[in-house]
Copies of this chain bind each other. A is one copy, B any other.
Amino acid sequence: MVSEGEAFCPGHVTAFFEVVDDPDPRKKGSRGAGLCLSLGVRTVARVREDSRPSLDVIVNGKRQKADVTESVARKILRDRGYEAKILSESPLPVSQGFGVSAAAALSTAMALDDALGLGMPRDELIAIAHETEVECGTGLGDVVPASLGGMDLRLEPGAPAHADVRKIPVEADLLLAVLGPEIPTRSVLRDSTKIAAINRAGASCVDAFSNGPSLERLFELGARFAEETGLASKVVLEVIRASRMFGRATMAMLGNSVFATGNREQLATLYLKFGTLQRCEVDNEGVRVL
Contacts and interface: CB of A to CB of B under 8 A. Distances in A.
B277 A276 contact: yes
Contacts of A178: 91
A273 B63 CA distance: 29
Q: How many copies does the complex hold?
A: 2
A61 interface: yes
A268 interface: yes
Interface string A60-76: 11100000000000000
B60 A91 contact: no
Contacts of A182: 60-62
B91 A275 contact: yes
Nearest to A184: B61
Q: Which of A182, A269, A279 gathers the greatest number of chain B CB atoms within 10 Å?
A: A279
A181 interface: yes
B264 A272 contact: yes
B275 A61 contact: no
Contacts of A93: 93
9 contacts: A61-B181, A62-B182, A62-B184, A91-B181, A175-B272, A264-B269, A268-B269, A272-B279, A275-B278
